[in-house]
Structure 1
Amino acid sequence: MPSWGSSNDPNRFTDWFHRNVKYALIGLLAVAAGAFGLVALQLGNSTQATDAIPWPAATFAVAPDDRPIVAFVGDSYTAGTGSSSQAKTFPALIGAEQGWEVVNLGRAGTGYVTSGGQAECGLDYCPTFREVIPEIVRANPSIVVVSGGRNDGAVAGLAENVMTFYRELRAALPNAKILATSPTWDDEAEPQSIADARGYVRSAAEAVGATFLDIGEPLANRPDLVGPDGIHPLDAGYAAFATAINNAIAATATP
């Protein structure tokens, strides 16, 4: 064995060092080659699994239990303001009746052209229906239910904006079924703006192949269905909305 501290033969340490470094490098290269081969084998197996089950294996068009995903777009009525829980909102009640996986995108204070803020939805900004379209697309629904319009009032250009919304929604989701409910009021007599908006929504929906659902006025002359603010439904009021929409869906179903 060489003596690393020998001073008699200064070349002995150099020769020994070169030989051992060479052997060490050969050993390291062998280990690296083996590791590379193992990785290659694993990658090969991974490719075979990918080929057997195309990626992505899951589809986002249906819920995990095969229920269709349905996005609801609307105002505070859709969001469920005044209900005792999300389970009592009309989107949740309809979803339970129809067997749908519901994505509720309702935002208080909003409409086809109207946005909300802190006073309405509790956020700095809540988007118009048109501005919600990217969120609808991300939900990847097979059905979209649009319900609202009372917050738009008699704003100028409403007809054109409603038409633009439905055209852009159809372009974004060409294969989705779109259900547009008629704009509604509370328990009091509806203003002319609601009757006008009903016509705008019907025309726009039919123009893009959507289904217009005329649900009437579920709360008309029923103050017992409306909360203390005089605007938002109680649980029984939301149940009335769910019944009206479910009935309208049934009425449009193909025999």
Structure 2
Amino acid sequence: MPRRTDDGGRTVLGRVPTRTRRPTTSAVALGLMALGVGAFVVLLPSVSDACQPATTPVSAHAEAALDPGSRVLIVGDSYTTGRGSSDGNHGWAQMISENESWRSTIDGIPGSGYVNRAATDSVQNTYLPRIESHASLDPDLVLVQGSQNDWTVSTRELRKVVTATLRQAEEQWPDALVVAIGPSAPAPLATATTNISDAVGAGARAAGVPYVDAVDAQWFTEFNSRSYVAADGEHLDDAGYRYLARRIAASLHDLTETTAECQPS
């Protein structure tokens, strides 16, 4: 299936077909008067009257959740810890928190995931118990990142665990905006995580949670990954994490956009 380019796709509006020009209202009225027939003039609403910006529940929620000073919880894997960066602990999560002026609690464990237990093989390393361990927090925004380590289970099982994990976050913090961020590895790993990303996206939709899909949007391609990959070939370097932080921030702020609600003609 073709996927969007690195900068995302644009919707191209087709050309409006030319129509035969109709008589004006005044001309029609004069014609009817000449025939001795009374007529009513029907005023149609203008486009501005029919289509009004509509604030969706997600956009209104996101406006407040993304404000500077917001309390944010970020749960993820080695990308959240910043592995591959020059100091080994300054990745996208730290960068986006600084750029957005958030008060963040960053919980990253390398090798972990929704089902992957990381190096110590402890179930406590998976995302669900870690989310539960932060129950005392009162976040405005919860970002759950990753899953590229979850290649040991079927996509069906992964989807179920993702749904349960994200629902727990929503139930635990009903006033917070919960967002899932999928795998975001550079090429060639980006292609290898397609099925995982699809499973996480399906789980997020089942939980009613917005999903940031870096794989589908092709944030990392064979061409640009050369500029962003760390020496180990699996993580990002400083430039890569800066790029990832910008892309995630842009996706989050997209949630604040309103849409036009048009009444049927």
How does the TM-score come out when normalised to structure 2? 0.63
1:38-72 CA-to-partner distances (Å, cap 9, x unmatched) read xxxxxxxxxxxxxxxxxxxxxxxxxxxx8111011
After the TM superposition, which residues 19-98 of structure 1 pair with which residues of structure 2 at under 5 Å, given as runs?
67-85=69-87, 88-98=90-100
Report the Cα distance in structure 2 between the residues aligned to 1:228 and 1:188, rounded to whole angstroms: 14
Report the Cα distance in structure 1 between the residues aligned to 2:99 and 2:89, rounded to whole angstroms: 12
Report the Cα distance in structure 1 between the residues aligned to 2:149 and 2:189, rounded to whole angstroms: 16
Q: Please say if residues 86 and 92 of structure 1, whose CA atoms lie closer than 8 Å, have aligned partners that are also in contact.
A: no
Does the alignment pair 1:246 with 2:255? no
- CA spacing shift, 1:86–1:95, aligned 2, 3 Å: farther
Which residue number in structure 1 is paired with residue 105 of structure 2?
103
Q: Please say if residues 79 and 89 of structure 1, whose CA atoms lie closer than 8 Å, have aligned partners that are also in contact.
A: yes
Comparing 142-151 with 126-135, greater Cα deviation is found at 126-135
Report the Cα distance in structure 2 between the residues aligned to 1:145 and 1:217, rounded to whole angstroms: 20
After the TM superposition, which residues 230-245 of structure 1 pair with which residues of structure 2 at under 5 Å, given as runs?
230-245=233-248
Question: What are structure 2's unaligned runs of at least 5 residues?
Answer: 1-67, 259-265
Comparing 81-90 with 226-235, greater Cα deviation is found at 81-90
1:172-214 CA-to-partner distances (Å, cap 9, x unmatched) read 122210111122222215345x222222222322333322122
1:48-107 CA-to-partner distances (Å, cap 9, x unmatched) read xxxxxxxxxxxxxxxxxx811101111101111122347842112111222211111011
Which residue number in structure 1 is paired with residue 131 of structure 2?
133
- CA spacing shift, 1:89–1:188, aligned 2, 3 Å: same
What is the letter of the counterpart of residue 233 of structure 1? Answer: L
Question: May I ask how many residue pairs the two structures share in their alignment?
Answer: 186
Q: Please say if residues 69 and 142 of structure 1, whose CA atoms lie closer than 8 Å, have aligned partners that are also in contact.
A: yes
Higher helix share: 1
- Computed over aligned residues only, the root mean square deviation of the Cα atoms, in angstroms, reads 2.5
Which residue number in structure 1 is paired with residue 221 of structure 2?
220
After the TM superposition, which residues 145-224 of structure 1 pair with which residues of structure 2 at under 5 Å, given as runs?
145-153=143-151, 155-156=153-154, 157-188=157-188, 190-191=190-191, 194-215=193-214, 216-221=217-222, 222-224=225-227
Report the Cα distance in structure 1 between the residues aligned to 2:91 and 2:191, rounded to whole angstroms: 25
How does the TM-score come out when normalised to structure 1? 0.65
- CA spacing shift, 1:214–1:125, aligned 2, 3 Å: closer
Report the Cα distance in structure 2 between the residues aligned to 1:78 and 1:217, rounded to whole angstroms: 20
- CA spacing shift, 1:238–1:213, aligned 2, 3 Å: same
1:110-166 CA-to-partner distances (Å, cap 9, x unmatched) read 001001125x9xxx7861011211233233211100110100015131111111111
Report the Cα distance in structure 2 between the residues aligned to 1:227 and 1:160, rounded to whole angstroms: 32
Q: Please say if residues 117 and 126 of structure 1, whose CA atoms lie closer than 8 Å, have aligned partners that are also in contact.
A: no
Helix, strand or coil for the counterpart of 1:145? strand
Higher Cα Rg: structure 1 or 2? 1
Report the Cα distance in structure 1 between the residues aligned to 2:125 and 2:235, rounded to whole angstroms: 20
- CA spacing shift, 1:76–1:168, aligned 2, 3 Å: same
What is the letter of the counterpart of residue 158 of structure 2? Answer: L
